[in-house]
Amino acid sequence: ARDANTGALLPAVYSSDPVRGGEITVQLPADTVLVSGIALLPATLPVGTTDQAALRVVWTHPGGPDTAPVRLDSLTVLTRDGTQPVVPDFYVDRAAVKRGGAEVGVVTGLPTSGGAFGIPLGGVTLDPGATDTLEVRFDVEVTAPVTRFEMHVNASGLHLVDANTGAPVAAIADSGAVLPIVSGLAQIESPARELAVGFTDSMPAVLAADGSTVTFATLSLRNTAGASSGNLSLDRLEIRAGDADLNPQDIGRSLLRVEAWIDGALWAATADLTEADVTAVLTSPTALVLVPDAPVTVELRGVLRTGTAMPGLRLGLESAGVGVIQPGSPLLSVSVVAEPGQQFPFWTLSGSGAATTLEESWSNFPNPFAAGREETKFAFFLPDPGRVTLKVYTARGEEVRQLMQDQPLSAGLHQSTAWDGRNGIGESVVNGVYLAVIRVDFATGGSESYFRKVAVVR
């Protein structure tokens, strides 16, 4: 060092002795990555499917701790129909690479020619001795042709470099693995576009506010698509209520809960309803999958609210209350239609409220009825278990028919005993008024007996 004016030499004084520089790590160059793969495509793939897993790349850095990290800059994916290259844009709307569930690369606007596309990754690195996985996922183009489809990733499609020098790194098959990595071959299916719903009313004519469960309707759900088309999924139903004249009423006034059963197993249900709930929304943790031309029958049940004055009750379902899970694209939306001969909204017949005593609940329906052409059913509520005798007499007291004799029945509402208007030898009775007499000997002691008039017309 010299003085800037005189040029004389100046002494140098060090702040520390010796002067130390920063530490550096010398690493060996990376030259190899071990690669294997897992096929993830299903055998069938509906048009418009979103975020579909295609394949998984498992890559391992075999170098020791003194080796440089490896960087993966991009991934090239080949698109094929099983034998020949296919244009990516025809099949893929969007593709992405995920690492640990997070997207590290995305591509849209796929090539409109050729048979490959690239996904830039922005430099995903792998330390020596580490293993990592990358998953290729994609959205199926809504206009994709109904053909076979698969993806490949060759060794050359993994654009690997030494993270320090940028020198190319070779991808070789890991022990027991084979390159290229393949997705598996999927058959692309035309989408299902329509769900047909059928409705069968089974509302009991008489309802008792006793906490019992009644079946009020049965639904049939049918995916109308052809056998080579995709499935439909359903995760919700919404039931509403009305009075006998279909004036809206709060469903929670009459029902505590609504359930949907399939093959004897509970599929969907509401939470406990409040009396102010207008509709009952049934949800399920597991969506119901409807394959083409394989109808599913759903039994709808309601748990009656206890101790509530129950007016005439009708339960209904609108098309908007059938919760089909819609595809991601509005171009593939699924319509909900009624089966031929039916129409939305569906409604049950009216169920009339019954008292929870034998005397007040004792009734029959219809009344009058046509003997020999229809039947009338008797309804009664037993506050306790008992043995029931039910007989029909003429107005003069002559016995016409014995319908029950000391039959043991449980407590609750009963309405399955019917009279077809015939006497004990199978002949239809003449028009007129008859007396139906019920006697119950209760298991708790005591008995009750009541009669009612039953009118027969032709």
pLDDT score of 210: 86
Distance of CA 114 to the CA centre of its chain: 39
Q: Is the pLDDT of residue 1 over 90?
A: no
What pLDDT, on a 0 to 100 scale, did the predictor assign at position 18? 66
| Per CATH, domain 194-354 is 2.40.50 | no
Query: Is-contact 388 409, C-beta < 8 A?
Result: yes
3-class DSSP state of 331: helix
What is the pLDDT averaged over residues 306-311?
75
Residues 165 and 200 sit within 8 Å (Cβ to Cβ): no
Q: Please give the pLDDT value at position 237.
A: 98
pLDDT for 280 equals: 97
Domain residue extents for the chain:
32-189, 194-354, 358-457
Does pTM top 0.85 for this prediction?
no
Q: What is the pLDDT of residues 420-432, one digit of tens each?
A: 999 999 999 999 9
Confidence band for 369, pLDDT divided at 50, 70 and 90? very high
Residue 303 in tokens: 């748990």
Report pLDDT digits (tens) over 95-118. Answer: 999 999 999 999 999 999 999 999
**Which residue spans within 202-263 are E strands per DSSP?**
206-208, 213-223, 232-242, 248-249, 255-262
Contact 49, 43 (CB under 8 A): no
CA–CA dist 62, 295 (Å, integer): 54
Supply the pLDDT for residue 440: 97
pLDDT of residue 16: 67
Whether 194-354 and 32-189 are alike in CATH topology: the answer is: yes
| Strands, sheet with 102-108, edge to edge from the N-terminal-most edge strand | 102-108, 92-99, 131-140, 52-60, 32-39, 170-173
Report the distance separating Cα 252 and Cα 264, nearest Å. 25
3-state secondary structure of 417: strand
CA distance 431 to 413: 29
Tell whether domain 358-457 is in CATH 1.25.40.10. no
Question: How much of the chain exceeds pLDDT 70, in percent?
Answer: 98
Please write the tens of the pLDDT for every residue from 8-41: 888 877 666 666 667 778 899 999 999 999 999 9
Q: How far is residue 381's CA from residue 313's CA, in Å, rounded to a whole number?
A: 18
Query: Which residues, 6+ apart, have CB-to-CB distance to 10 below 8 Å?
Result: 1, 2, 3
Determine the topology of domain 32-189 in CATH: Immunoglobulin-like (2.60.40)
**pLDDT 10s digits, 283-305:** 999 999 999 989 999 999 999 99
Average pLDDT score over the chain: 93
pLDDT of res. 327: 84
In this structure, the dihedral spanned by the alpha carbons of residues 223, 228, 229 and 233, taken in order and rounded to 10 degrees, is: 50
Spatial CA neighbour of 319 closest among 440, 198, 410, 429? 198
Locate 350 and state its tokens. Answer: 């009216």
Three-state SS at 157: helix
Q: Give yes or no for residue 200 having a pLDDT over 80.
A: yes
Nearest-angstrom CA–CA distance, 397 and 437: 11
pLDDT tier, 58 (very low <50, low <70, confident <90, very high otherwise): very high
State the pLDDT at residue 355: 80
Residue 91 has pLDDT above 70, yes or no: yes
